[in-house]
Amino acid sequence: MELRKEFMEAEFHASEKQNLEAYYKASEQYFLSSFAKGEQSSCLAYVDGHLAGMFHALLSAFSVCIRTSSWF
């Protein structure tokens, strides 16, 4: 049972990492293209995107802790 939990957790982290990497690449590409066009407001959108990505990662890690914990 413990090995199954570890495998599921490792699999979840791998998929989350791939999703976040794809998100960061897309947001970086958006920032670079809009910055080249002279849109200064895109800088704020880029920063907001990174903050949202970090918040999502923290929530995901917390949900894994809850799911794998024997307290709940």
pLDDT in tens, 33-70: 766 666 555 555 566 666 777 777 777 777 777 777 65
What is the tally of structural domains in the chain?
A: 1
- For residue 10, being part of any structural domain is answered with no
**Which of 25, 30, 31, 29 is CA-nearest to residue 43?**
31
Domain for residue 43, yes or no? yes
8 within a domain of the structure (yes/no):
no
Is residue 71 included in any domain, yes or no? Answer: yes
Please report whether residue 15 resides in a domain: no
Task: Name the nearest CA neighbour of 60 among 3, 9, 2.
Answer: 9
Is 5 inside a domain boundary?
A: no
pTM: 0.36
In 3D space, the residue among 47, 53, 12, 24 whose CA is nearest the CA of residue 4 turns out to be: 12
Residue 20 lies inside a defined structural domain of this protein: no
Q: What value does the mean pLDDT take over residues 13-23?
A: 68
Tell me if 9 is assigned to some domain.
no
For residue 35, what are the domain limits? 26-72
